[in-house]
A and B are shown apart, each in its own frame.
Chain A
Amino acid sequence: METTLREVIKQITFKHLKKFKGQVFGQNLTGVGWVAGTLPKLYEKDGVIELPMADVANGGMVTGAALVGRRPFYIIRYQGYNWLNCIFIVNYACKSKEIWNKPAPMFIRGLSSEGGLGPVSTSSHISIFYKMPGIKIYSPMTKNEYTKTYKKFMKSDDVFYVSEHRKSYENKIELKNSLKKNLDIILMPISVTRFEAEKAKNYLNKNGYKVGIIHLYELKPFVLKKKWISMIKSSKYGVLMTDNDYVDGIIRTLAHKINEQTNKKVYVLGLKDKSAGYTRETSNFPPSALEIITKIKKIKAKKRL
Chain B
Amino acid sequence: MSYKNYRLKTFEKASLCRNFENEVFKRVNEKIINFPVYLSAGQEYVPSSIAQIVKDKKQKPLIFGQHRGHSIYLSFGGNIIELIDELLGKKTGCTRGMGGSLSINSNKINMFGHEGLMGSNACMGVGACFSSAKPTIVFLGDASVEEDYVLASLSWAAKKELPILFVVEDNNYAVLTKKKDRRDWKAKDVAKAFKLESYDIDDQPKNIFSVLKKNLFKKPIFINVNTKRLFWHSGAGVDEEVKGDRLTVEKKFLGKKAEKIHRNIKKKIENLWKQRLEK
**Do A and B associate with each other?**
yes
Contact assessment for B95 and A100 in the assembled complex, using a CB-CB cutoff below 8 Å = yes
Chain A 85-107, CB-CB to B under 8 Å as 1, else 0, gives: 00110011001101111100000
* 8 Å CB contact of B113 from A58, A62, A99: A99
Contact assessment for A56 and B124 in the assembled complex, using a CB-CB cutoff below 8 Å = no
- In the complex, A180 Cα to B52 Cα: how many Å? 71
Q: Given the known inter-chain contacts A56-B149, A92-B120, please indicate yes or no for A64 contacting B115, CB distance below 8 A.
A: no
* 8 Å CB contact of A63 from B62, B95, B123, B152: B123
Contact assessment for A65 and B107 in the assembled complex, using a CB-CB cutoff below 8 Å = no
Chain B 9-38, CB-CB to A under 8 Å as 1, else 0, gives: 000000000000000000000000000000
Contact assessment for A101 and B159 in the assembled complex, using a CB-CB cutoff below 8 Å = no
Interface centre among B123, B124, B159 (most CB of A within 10 A): B124
- At the interface, yes or no: B41 with Cβ under 8 Å from chain A? no
Closest chain B residue, CB of each to CB of A25: B127
Contact assessment for A99 and B124 in the assembled complex, using a CB-CB cutoff below 8 Å = no
Contact assessment for B112 and A102 in the assembled complex, using a CB-CB cutoff below 8 Å = yes
- In the complex, A96 Cα to B128 Cα: how many Å? 14
Contact assessment for A64 and B113 in the assembled complex, using a CB-CB cutoff below 8 Å = no
Q: Smallest distance from the beta carbon of B157 to chain A beta carbons, Å?
A: 10
* 8 Å CB contact of B149 from A54, A66, A91, A101: A54
Contact assessment for B127 and A63 in the assembled complex, using a CB-CB cutoff below 8 Å = yes
Chain B 106-136, CB-CB to A under 8 Å as 1, else 0, gives: 0100001101110010111111111110100
**Chain B residues, Cβ within 8 Å of A62:** 127
**Chain A residues, Cβ within 8 Å of B224:** none
- At the interface, yes or no: A60 with Cβ under 8 Å from chain B? yes
The number of chain B residues touching the other chain, given as a range, is: 20 to 34
- At the interface, yes or no: B99 with Cβ under 8 Å from chain A? yes
- In the complex, A87 Cα to B149 Cα: how many Å? 11
Q: Which of A34-42, A67-75, A289-297 contacts B (4 or more CB under 8 A)?
A: A67-75
- At the interface, yes or no: A80 with Cβ under 8 Å from chain B? no
Contact assessment for B153 and A57 in the assembled complex, using a CB-CB cutoff below 8 Å = yes
Interface centre among B99, B149, B155 (most CB of A within 10 A): B149
- In the complex, A91 Cα to B123 Cα: how many Å? 13
Q: Smallest distance from the beta carbon of A101 to chain B beta carbons, Å?
A: 7
- At the interface, yes or no: A140 with Cβ under 8 Å from chain B? no
- In the complex, A254 Cα to B115 Cα: how many Å? 29
- The A-B contact count (CB < 8 A) is 113
Contact assessment for B117 and A88 in the assembled complex, using a CB-CB cutoff below 8 Å = yes
**Chain A residues, Cβ within 8 Å of B144:** none
- Per DSSP, chain B at the interface is helix
Closest chain B residue, CB of each to CB of A23: B131
B132-190 with Cβ < 8 A to chain A: 132, 134, 148-150, 152-153, 155-156, 159
Chain A 27-65, CB-CB to B under 8 Å as 1, else 0, gives: 000000000000000000000010110101111111111
**Chain B residues, Cβ within 8 Å of A100:** 95, 98-99, 103, 105, 112-113
Closest chain A residue, CB of each to CB of B111: A100
Closest chain A residue, CB of each to CB of B95: A100
- In the complex, A56 Cα to B128 Cα: how many Å? 16
- At the interface, yes or no: B96 with Cβ under 8 Å from chain A? yes
- In the complex, A65 Cα to B98 Cα: how many Å? 23
**Chain A residues, Cβ within 8 Å of B105:** 99-102
Contact assessment for A56 and B115 in the assembled complex, using a CB-CB cutoff below 8 Å = no
**Chain A residues, Cβ within 8 Å of B134:** 68
Q: Smallest distance from the beta carbon of B212 to chain A beta carbons, Å?
A: 22
Contact assessment for A92 and B128 in the assembled complex, using a CB-CB cutoff below 8 Å = no
- In the complex, A102 Cα to B107 Cα: how many Å? 8
- In the complex, A68 Cα to B133 Cα: how many Å? 10
**Chain A residues, Cβ within 8 Å of B103:** 99-100
Interface centre among B95, B96, B123 (most CB of A within 10 A): B123
**Chain B residues, Cβ within 8 Å of A59:** 123
Interface centre among A23, A61, A92 (most CB of B within 10 A): A61
- In the complex, A96 Cα to B107 Cα: how many Å? 12
Contact assessment for B107 and A64 in the assembled complex, using a CB-CB cutoff below 8 Å = no
Q: Smallest distance from the beta carbon of B52 to chain A beta carbons, Å?
A: 25
Q: Given the known inter-chain contacts A54-B156, A56-B152, A68-B131, please indicate yes or no for A61 contacting B112, CB distance below 8 A.
A: no
Closest chain B residue, CB of each to CB of A67: B128
Contact assessment for A63 and B159 in the assembled complex, using a CB-CB cutoff below 8 Å = no
Q: Given the known inter-chain contacts A52-B155, A52-B159, A99-B98, please indicate yes or no for A64 contacting B123, CB distance below 8 A.
A: yes
Q: Smallest distance from the beta carbon of A283 to chain B beta carbons, Å?
A: 31
Q: Smallest distance from the beta carbon of B83 to chain A beta carbons, Å?
A: 15
Closest chain B residue, CB of each to CB of A87: B117
23 A/B residue pairs, CB under 8 Å, sorted by A: A51-B156, A52-B159, A56-B149, A57-B126, A57-B156, A60-B123, A60-B149, A63-B123, A64-B123, A64-B124, A64-B128, A64-B130, A65-B130, A65-B131, A67-B127, A68-B132, A87-B120, A92-B120, A98-B98, A99-B99, A100-B112, A101-B96, A102-B105
What 7 pairs between A and B have smallest CB-CB spacing? Answer: A64-B127, A60-B123, A54-B152, A61-B127, A64-B128, A57-B152, A65-B131
* Residues of chain B at the chain A interface (Cβ within 8 Å): 62, 95-96, 98-99, 103, 105, 107, 112-113, 115-117, 120, 122-132, 134, 148-150, 152-153, 155-156, 159
Known: A52-B156, A57-B148, A57-B153. 5 other contacts (CB 8 A): A54-B149, A58-B152, A68-B132, A91-B116, A99-B99
